[in-house]
Amino acid sequence: MILVFGKNGQVARELNKFDKAHCIGRDEVNLERPEESEQIIRQLRPLAVINAAAYTNVDTAETEQKKAALINSDAPRIMAKTCSSLSIPFVHISTDYVFSGEGHLPWRPEDETDPINAYGRSKREGELGVLNAGGRSAVLRTSWVFSSYGTNFVKTMLRLGEEREEVQVVADQFGGPTSAAEIAKICMQLVAHLEADASAAGIYHFAGAPTTSWAGFAEAIFAKAHIDCMVTEVQSRDYPTVAKRPLNSRLCCEKLSGFGVAQPDWRDGLTQVIDEMGASA
């Protein structure tokens, strides 16, 4: 059995489709009390652990920094230390938000981090806790996650596209939309690699290709769903948010190619998600 922290999130819902996965939610473990994660790991003694749980509200993290830190920093650190002590693999999902968002080149796993908001800082602290715990632990950074579950950009655009003739979407933030289903597959593959080879521990990047902007992503969503809605491009400065967003979320995913993993085409994942939701004509 592979223990998955997270039950209702996008990646957790996809992981739950694997027979080996046992997903647990807040009703069983409250990560605002991070020590509970150690208790459940020691109680269940799983073959491996995947942390797909996180505090993900980027804007409210600015005012709920303590809560974000408990869930995004303290909990994964304790999970990793516990897994290390039990000699079992641990995979932790992280984010492109650990970077500054400057420049135009894809971020490599070894690049210096410099988060520009409280959410990013909490996720980076979580990464450090995992890496410092030693053992068979891997950090998987990803970006722009979408699925037919929960709240995400695809679902928001589909709703707005049906309600409006035009939407304004930022066009100066670039990244790789990533299907939650593909992330779940990679998590399971990383577990297998960590089981077979302890040297597989470390940081990995995984994101969809090709690179696009949020505006470009919105246009693709409307095209796939056959929705007649015009996308008007705006700049980030014209769409202020509580927390600053990185302009460059491109991720270099070459490291995973050593495992025979290629970047997925997010357009294929988008088609699948829209079909699942019955939004295509």
Annotated catalytic residue 119: yes
Are the C-beta atoms of 241 and 59 separated by less than 8 Å?
A: yes
* Token code pair at residue 233: 């491009």
Are the C-beta atoms of 180 and 10 separated by less than 8 Å?
A: yes
DSSP E strands: which ranges in 186-236? Answer: 202-205, 212-213, 230-234
Type of residue numbered 21: A
* Token code pair at residue 198: 């302890």
The span from the CA of 86 to the CA of 37, in Å, is: 14
Active-site residue, from 119, 149, 204, 239: 119
Residues in the chain: 281
SS3 label, residue 23: strand
Which residues are catalytically annotated? 119
